[in-house]
Amino acid sequence: MGKQAAKRALPDNEAKAVLRMVRISPQKLNLVAQMIRGKKVETALADLTFSRKRIAGQVKKTLESAIANAENNHDLDVDDLVVSQAFVGKSIVMKRFSPRARGRVGTIQKPFSHLTIVVRQVETEAAKA
């Protein structure tokens, strides 16, 4: 008699992947997330592949994970997937201290972030006909 399974939070035509505790500020990670919002997954993968941002590789892995979740867990068609949401959350901030002049201290903040990518299957004209 185990615990009952929780209801699925997303609709049946969506799948998601989450990247947690990545060592980059949310502001910088959001720049990369903005690049892929609302695009088809093939275009988003191409944009991330040729992006010069350091974090683009990890974002690409997360997008590929969301695509794999959609295909394997929810039986969605990969060719019809669109990045419906890509949002960034703030996580912990490591605080480090550096000595400054006249006995004072300088604070160094090292922020962490979370990234959530949701992909949705949209119907194409060929599927409607």
Instruction: Give the start-end residues of each E strand in the chain.
Output: 14-22, 81-99, 105-121
Task: Give me 1's structure tokens.
Answer: 């008699």
Tell which residue, 46, 37, 119, 27, has the closest CA to residue 80.
Answer: 119
In tens, the pLDDT along 29-39 reads 999 999 999 99
Neighbouring-strand partners of residue 119: 15, 83
In tens, the pLDDT along 108-129 reads 999 999 999 999 999 876 666 5
How far does CA 61 lie from the centroid of its chain? 9
What pTM did the predictor assign?
A: 0.90
CB atoms within 10 A of CB 102: 4
